[in-house]
Amino acid sequence: MRRVTGCEARANKPPMSTKPQSLLKKHLLKKVWDAHTVCELPSGQTQLFIGLHLIHEVTSPQAFAMLRERKLGVRFPKRTFATVDHIIPTDSQIRPFQDVLAEAMMVELEKNCREHGITLFDPASGQQGVVHVIGPELGLTHPGMTIACGDSHTSTHGAFGAVAFGIGTSQVRDVLATGCLAMEPLKVRRIAIDGKLGRGVYAKDAILAVIRRLGVKGGVGFAYEYAGSTIEAMSMEERMTVCNMSIEGGARVGYVNPDETTFEYLRGRRYAPQGEAFERARAWWQSMASDAGASYDDEFALDAKAIAPSVTWGINPEQNLGIDEKLPSPQDVADEARASIEEALAYMQFKPGQSIEGTPINVAFIGSCTNGRISDLREAAAVAKHGKVASGIRTFVVPGSRAVAEQAEKEGLPEIFRAAGFTWREPGCSMCLAMNPDQLVGDEICASSSNRNFKGRQGSPTGRTLLMSPAMVAAAAIRGKVTDVREILG
């Protein structure tokens, strides 16, 4: 006897949207979830329709191979967009790439996109860039959408009020084949940040402060809703920086409710609706924002004034400090926390109780989907103007996309960086994960504007990463050591 294992088991159940829920106050996650629910699965998971599927060269080829094995096509090719970012060299994008493995991955992506009618933003398109930079920039990311990508930093798109999450390779296959995912329900934690960020304190510092307080596993099972006057005052690029690192706090999804800032960012972008359609879209987008008085599974509040320029000192993003603080000592903490602090200190070759300020660095990296946008480059350039890169420091300034690079060129930023002794590169992920030739050597210490300070993350098994804002990276490059950017900004 054939057992039914999917959607049709519940086919007679009325769809959720017909229930009289209009009087209930709902948060954005619930509204988006309901609008995208195809059905409840017997497993207790929800079958969700995915409105935008972004793919790149590293996690998609195996998924396409699985489709081929099963003789399946891509169900929603027009809702699928591709770019190349992880393996692309940043010194020259001329084909064929020197690394034959990187070239083979590029060729495979081109072939898969061609075969399935998927738009690919390759270098020749003039729109190539890190997947989480180009989605918003092209206007592909809309409020109220569900977005998936085989990359954990997909949470970035939540800045627009989308429900966006990273997925594994088998799930990339599932979305390609069906336009859907089976998802466990998520709880929502509202994180309110209120007040004005101090000078030299950026969105990066705000999210590092949140992760420091809630921990790297604190968000498991939750979506983070960022709210409060600090978040409301942020630009879209700043909100993206915050949402990007939700996953570092364990939350697969992070979002900000859409508002005028969101709508104005989208107006006129290539894939955003135009004219009257834009006004209709805007009304729908607005309706998807959390209702005042919606209830949350958890709430957390943070005062913006309590946030200092922050730097990681250990081997996960929770291990971060304000610039004027000292590293923890294993003997000062509870038993459970001791081992991880000892492990981090040993790996980083740091001493308990030492200052993070003044730590000498070898490499400076400005870029990534966390901090590789135009506002990040402007902030770093504003610091770079104040000096020259200290001798012996290798630097990488890597715009997040071709469009970011072009805008920076219009504003004369590459000249500012070059004059200060920084190297200006082509767009890509670069040293964020070092799958291309940009890598640390030995136990070098890198001041980095990226999102992960895991052991070996930047290409050397013993390499050390200090995460901080782009302005702080520029300051560290100029002084050759971790520096309070406020001293340079005056």
Partner 1 sequence: MSNSKIERVQGRACVLHGNDIDTDRIIPARFMKVVTFDGLGEHAFADDRKQAKGDHPLDREAFQGAQILIVGKNFGCGSSREHAPQALMRWGFHAFVGESFAEIFAGNCAALGVPLLVLSHADNTRLMDSVEADPAQQVTLDVARATLRYRDGEIQGKIAPGMQRQLLDGSWDGVAVLQTAGAAIEKTANALPYASNYAK
Residues of the shown chain interacting with partner 1 in the complex, contacts defined by CB under 8 A: 2-8, 11, 17, 35-39, 41-43, 47, 49, 51, 61-62, 65-66, 70, 72, 75-76, 87, 101-102, 104-105, 108, 142, 144-145, 168-171, 173-174, 177-182, 273, 277-278, 280-281, 284, 435
Residue 101 binding partner per list ligand SF4, partner 1, none, with a CB distance cut-off of 5 to 8 Å that depends on partner kind = partner 1
Sequence-ordered list of residues with C-beta below 8 angstroms from that of 278, at least 6 positions apart, any chain: 266, 267, 272
Residue 235 binding partner per list partner 1, ligand SF4, none, with a CB distance cut-off of 5 to 8 Å that depends on partner kind = none
| d(C-alpha 65, C-alpha 112), whole Å | 9
Which residues between 146 and 205 bind ligand SF4 (CB under 6 A)?
151, 153
Looking at beta carbons only, is 104 or 233 nearer to partner 1?
A: 104
Looking at beta carbons only, is 168 or 358 nearer to partner 1?
A: 168
| Percent of the chain that is helix, strand, coil (3-state, to 5) | 40, 15, 45
Specify the length of the chain in residues. 490
Write each residue from 431 to 450 as x if it is in contact with ligand SF4 (CB under 6 A), else as -, in one continuous string: -xx----------------x
Looking at beta carbons only, is 2 or 410 nearer to partner 1?
A: 2
457 is a site residue for ligand SF4 (CB under 6 A): no
Looking at beta carbons only, is 50 or 321 nearer to partner 1?
A: 50
Place of tokens 């995912």: 181
| d(C-alpha 52, C-alpha 55), whole Å | 10
Residue 322 in 3-state DSSP?
strand
**Region of 268 on the Ramachandran plot (φ > 0 left; ψ -120 to 50 alpha; else beta):** left
Nearest to 56 by CA among 88, 86, 22: 86
Least distance in angstroms from the C-beta of 72 to ligand SF4: 27
| d(C-alpha 157, C-alpha 165), whole Å | 9
In the list 86, 204, 239, 373, the residue contacting ligand SF4 (rule: CB under 6 A) is: 86
DSSP single-letter state for residue 9:
G
Looking at beta carbons only, is 395 or 448 nearer to ligand SF4?
A: 448
Least distance in angstroms from the C-beta of 39 to partner 1: 6
Give CB contacts under 8 A, 24+ apart, made by 18-24: none
| d(C-alpha 50, C-alpha 182), whole Å | 10
Residues at the contact surface with ligand SF4, assessed by CB under 6 A: 85-86, 130-132, 151, 153, 368-369, 429, 432-433, 450-451
